[in-house]
Amino acid sequence: MKLLVVAILLAATVAHADPAYVSKKDQYLKAKQAPHGKPGKLPVVGKPPAKLINLYNTWTDEWLAVDALKPKLPAEVVNQFLRCHFTNEPTTMEPKLIPTVVEAAKHFNVGIVDIVSGFRHPKYNLMLRKKGHQVARDSQHTHGNAIDFWLPGISIPALHEWAKSKHMGGVGLYLGSGFVHMDTGPVRYWNGE
Query: What pLDDT does residue 25 have?
Result: 79
SS3 label, residue 189: strand
Residues 14-21: contacts with CB within 8 Å, 24+ apart? Answer: none
Query: What pLDDT does residue 5 have?
Result: 47
> What is the DSSP code string of 121-183?
-HHHHHHHHHTT----TT-GGGGT-EEEEE-TTS-HHHHHHHHHHH-SSEEEEETTTTEEEEE
Query: What pLDDT does residue 28 have?
Result: 75
Query: What pLDDT does residue 50 have?
Result: 80
SS3 label, residue 48: coil
Cβ count near 107 (within 10 Å): 15
Q: What is the mean pLDDT of each run of 10 residues along the chain (193 residues)?
A: 50 56 77 60 73 96 96 96 97 97 97 98 94 90 98 98 97 96 96 88
Query: What pLDDT does residue 24 have?
Result: 79
Query: What pLDDT does residue 36 have?
Result: 54
The residue type of 171 is: V
Query: What pLDDT does residue 34 have?
Result: 59
